[in-house]
Structure 1
Amino acid sequence: MAEPSALPQLEDLPPEYVAHDEGRMIYSCMAAMTALATSVVVLRLWARKEKSAAIQVDDWLIIASLPFLWVLMTCGVLSVVRGGVGKHTIVNLIVDPDAMNRGAKYFFVSQFMYGTVIALIKSSILALYLHIFPTQFMKKSCFVLGGLVFAWWLMAMIVPFVQCKPMSKSWSPFEEGTCIDTCAFLVGNAVPNIVTDAAILALPAHQISKLQLRTMQKAAITGIFLLGGIVIIASCIRLKVVYALWESDLNMDFTVQIKDSWLWTVTEPAVGVLCACLPTLRPLVVAIMGTMKRYSTKRSTGESNAIITAGGRTSKPASKPRFSRGQVSEPIGSFERLDDIESAEGGPAGLVLWPKGFCQDRKTTVVGRDSHSALSDEIALGAIHVRNEMTLSEDRLSR
């Protein structure tokens, strides 16, 4: 980018050209996507609490990604507010000649934030896979992909420091010096990112195919993981936008052209956080569906139990008669939970429950068997967890 030799007066430019500013739209979109990603992580933690599940490594990694996403979004907002992004370049050079240098500094910092947040998101997904599928195949695959992600992150951290000589030329485009081929760097950064995304996305398919589930259940679980393909689409769009930016004539209108690059640089990791959290949100869906079902049942029960009298009034039906102890017409009644599980006959593995308030002519025994495995910490993915098995038996006693 060459420094313009002469600039027109602001009064010589059309008023609508001077007033052009897409800044509000840019930082509103970036803030909205960041807020959405943060909200999804909060819901993920709520789902863990709802299932009484411990916070795992994958949760900590996705939590750790949020501060970097927030800083990335802040760089984008500052590039608009103080860097002139969204306004015409000529207007920026006339009104605030240092604006473009400030915007370039924010872009320089954003490269480190972008690389780190992407690496943390991918590491979180791989850790989730290891927790759900603790098989040798998955362990080896996750460690290989984890190594590739680390190598990609290391490259993303080193290259910005050496891409220009002197380094200050990275944020001072008019300064004398040389820089590496920016387009080659962008492609070299984005292509491995997309390839590892695709590999991580396809990894669970092999394990899901081995599960002893109905075809529809396998398809549903696979669909949850395949929703992560959205982030691949976002990565491809960002590559296209950024590559088109640096291939174009930057002397034309750089601060307007770079707006889409900023948008997708923030949107891609935000979508990545969303996709990484989707498989863990099943308890939220179950809770919402359960609440809706209870509300619907309560309404329908209330309406069906109401009795319309001759005067148009509604009244509740008479309650069922209550029976006293020992008064048994049929040995059927409600069960009462024991206060002390250890004092029950048979101990915790064999509980004897008696119908409340009836003669002892029948006994019910509940026998539990715990299943311990690497999957005992339930993950809300439906069918990919182990539950305790209970056997219910009922015997009539001789009088």
Structure 2
Amino acid sequence: MSFDTGYWTTPSHVIAAGIGLSILDIAFVSLRFAARKKQRQPLKADDWLLVPATLLNIGIGIAMVYGVSRHSLAYPFEVPAEADGNGLLVATEQISLEGKIQWAYTLMLPLALGFTKASFVCFYRRIFAVNRSSKTNIFLVGMIVFIIIWMAAFFFAFLFQCRLNFWALWTSPIAILEHCVSDTPINFALTITDVVTDVIILITPIPLVWRLKLTSVRKLAVTAVFLLGAVTVLASIVRLAMTTKILQVGFDPNVDAILTSFIYWGMAESGIAVFVACLPTLWILFKGWSWNHLVRVARSIADSSLSSLRLIRTRTSGSKEDLATGYSVNGTSLRKLSTSTPSESPFAADAQLMSTTDSRDIELGRV
């Protein structure tokens, strides 16, 4: 079976993914920490777990960029003339560096994915499992234990793929065939269980939200926030499809695009997962931007250009005096954005949910 290359095997796209996703993760994890500060909430496990996940993604990104700079990724293999076209016999600097990058990638990816999955589940515990003896908490703790076992199992499986003959992975293809077990079953197991756990993590909060005593509209709004995780599921499914195609082709030392594709889609999934894990928390940074407020602002603009100019100027300047006094538009007082309550807007429930994560009212359904 032939392997079709795509944009993800070109040097520019590999570098863009390595740098772009790393910067994206750093930015959103920083915003997550800023959101916690704004909430006046302590940093907990769900926040800190994204730090090693981000560092591991940065490590993969650095390996990708360095591999491209040394022509070990996204460039054709250079087979010496004395090899007579048989790539299995090649032992060049290019092949050696590629083997080292692949080994580092296979060790970092399960850890990065595992830390991110654990962050999702710990975030659910922060919100829903106030009562530590509840079935919800027991289930979520069990999920965390499973994720820890999952990431450790695949880390050590790749670490000892060649037993203690680590050098075989960056010597030559023939050395890998002689001293290492096939990594095809390991990679299949990793990608399949990755998708399954992502789906479970995605659907876990849905029944928990619908148990709360909220209106249907508010439940849908909060559910939509958690369903942002569907982006991660989609990324893992795409990686599963690409990995399946790659592994069906089998190892071919004369096709350089296979390993490049393998690493590119792994970085794509892991980088997107960290980004998506931060999204529910970042709603607090936009607290007060509900539909009711947007409608009021729109009506104000239509009714009084002067009042709307004052409203826009205050939003952009952040004047303490204006925020303290509020506005009066056509005789109707507009509340400050920072003082909205769940009863004012069907979409304020998620802001309250994120800003009162340690309250027992969530567990008792009094959100």
Alignment TM-score, normalising by the size of structure 1: 0.66
Matched residue, 2:141: 143
Percent identity between the aligned chains? 20
1:306-332 CA-to-partner distances (Å, cap 9, x unmatched) read 9xxxxxxxxxxxxxxxxxxxxxxxxxx
- For 2:160, the equivalent position in structure 1 comes to 162
Q: Counterparts of 1:193 and 1:151 in 2: how far apart (Å)?
A: 13
What's 2:29 paired with? 41
Give the alignment of 1:185-196 within 5 angstroms: 185-196=186-197
RMSD, aligned α-carbons: 3.4
Give the one of 43, 46, 64 matched to 1:58.
46
Q: CA deviation digits over 1:189-235, x for unaligned, max 9?
A: 22222222111111111211111111111111111111212112211
Quick one: distance in 2 between partners of 1:97 and 1:207?
56
Contact 2:300/2:307 (8 A) holds in 1: no
Over 3 Å counting, the alpha-carbon distance change for 1:297 and 1:113 in structure 2 is farther
Which residue identity is paired with 1:156? F
Higher RCO, 1 vs 2 (CA within 8 Å, ≥6 residues apart): 2
**Structure 1 segment 247-266 matched on structure 2, within 5 A:** 247-248=248-249, 250-251=251-252, 253-266=254-267
CA distance in 2, matches of 1:294, 1:55: 35
Hey, what's the Cα distance between the residues in 1 that align with 2:63 and 2:279?
A: 27
Separation in 1, partners of 2:68, 2:308: 62
Paired positions, count = 298
Give the residue type in structure 1 aligned to 2:53.
Answer: S
Corresponding residue SS for 2:204 = helix
**Contact 1:86–1:256 (Cα < 8 Å) also in 2:** yes
Map of 2:365 onto structure 1: none
Provide Cα deviations, 1:283-310, integer angstroms capped at 9, x if missing partner: 223367789988996997562699xxxx
Indicate conservation of the 8 Å contact 1:129/1:138, yes or no. no
1:32 and 1:292 map into 2 onto residues whose CA distance is 36
Change (3 A) 1:147 1:123: same
Task: Give the structure with the larger helix fraction.
Answer: 2
More strand by share: 1
1:205 aligns with 2:206: yes
Code of the aligned partner of 2:194: N
Please tell me whether the aligned partners of residues 83 and 101 of structure 1 are also in contact (alpha carbons under 8 angstroms).
Answer: no
Report SS of the residue matched to 1:254: coil
1:382 aligns with 2:362: no
Q: 1:182 to 1:50 in 2, by over 3 A?
A: same
Query: Contact 1:83–1:102 at 8 Å: present in 2 too?
Result: no
Distance in 2, matches of 1:260 and 1:160, equals 18
The residue aligned with 2:318 is: none
- Contact 2:72–2:95 (CA under 8 A) maintained in structure 1: yes
Amino acid at match of 2:207: H
Q: Distance in 2 between matches of 1:219 and 1:104?
A: 48
Aligned residue in 1 for 2:19: 31
Corresponding residue for residue 246 of structure 2: 245
How big is each residue's C-alpha offset from its partner over 1:73-100, in whole Å with a ceiling of 9 and x where there is no partner? 1112122222521112247999x93112
Offset, 1:240: 2.3
1:29 Cα deviation after fit: 2.1
* d(CA) in 2 for partners of 1:305, 1:238: 48
Structure 1: which 5+ runs fail to align?
Answer: 1-20, 307-335, 338-378, 389-399
Q: Does 1:98 align with 2:82?
A: no
> Residue 338 of structure 2 aligns with which residue?
none
Partner of 1:281 in structure 2?
282
Residue 311 of structure 1: aligned partner: none
The CA deviation at 1:173 is 3.4
Single out whichever of 292-301 and 75-84 deviates more from structure 2.
Answer: 292-301
Structure 2 residue runs of 5 or longer lacking an equivalent are 1-8, 83-90, 310-323, 326-348, 362-367
- TM-score for the superposition, normalised by structure 2: 0.71
- The Cα of 1:251 is off from its aligned counterpart by 3.2
Partner residue, 1:374:
none
Which protein shows a greater Rg? 1
* Cα displacement string for residues 321-346 of structure 1 (whole angstroms, at most 9, x for unaligned residues): xxxxxxxxxxxxxxx99xxxxxxxxx
Does the aligned pair in 1 maintain the 2:46–2:119 contact within 8 Å?
yes
User: Are the structure 2 counterparts of residues 305 and 229 from structure 1 closer, same or farther at C-alpha, using a change threshold of 3 Å?
Assistant: closer
Segments ≥4 residues shifted beyond 4 Å? 91-94, 287-302
